[in-house]
Amino acid sequence: MKHLIVGLLAGAALAAPRKQTFTGVITDNMCAQTGHAAMRMGPTDAECTVACIQSHGALYVLLAGKNVYDLSNQQLPERFAGEKVRVTGTLDAKTKTITVDSIVPAR
């Protein structure tokens, strides 16, 4: 019985999502794939991102290469709009959503 409990606990620990760090640009889900040129809601990518969020109900996302990740926290990314950042959190691979623990500028 003791081995069964230890095995179940070990299996649960292995199945638990782990924190990862993702590097990319904070943008909005309307412009993430096509870029800001089509919408151009402001003179910079950062201003376009914020305008799309405020005026069109878009959501902040992380564009990391060709991958677009939804972000669980929609307040924290605002100050990093248009910037390259490192997001630390847990990825739900099925929904491509990062549960955000922190966002810091990338160096």
Tokens matching residue 34: 């096509």
Query: One digit per residue, pLDDT tens: the chain, 107 residues?
Result: 665 555 555 555 566 679 999 999 999 999 888 777 666 677 888 999 999 999 889 999 999 999 999 999 999 999 999 999 999 999 999 999 999 999 999 98
Measured in degrees and rounded to the nearest 5, phi and psi for residue 42 equal: -175, 165
Considering the segment(s) 18-105 as one domain, its CATH architecture is Beta Barrel (2.40)
CA distance 80 to 14: 33
Residues counted in the chain: 107
Could you list the beta-strand ranges (E) of 1-107.
19-28, 60-64, 67-71, 84-92, 97-105
pLDDT of residue 70: 98
Query: In a 3-state reduction of DSSP, which class is residue 10?
Result: helix
What is the per-residue pLDDT for 35?
75
pLDDT on residue 1? 62
The closest alpha carbon to 69, from 107, 103, 44, belongs to: 103
pTM of the model as a whole = 0.81
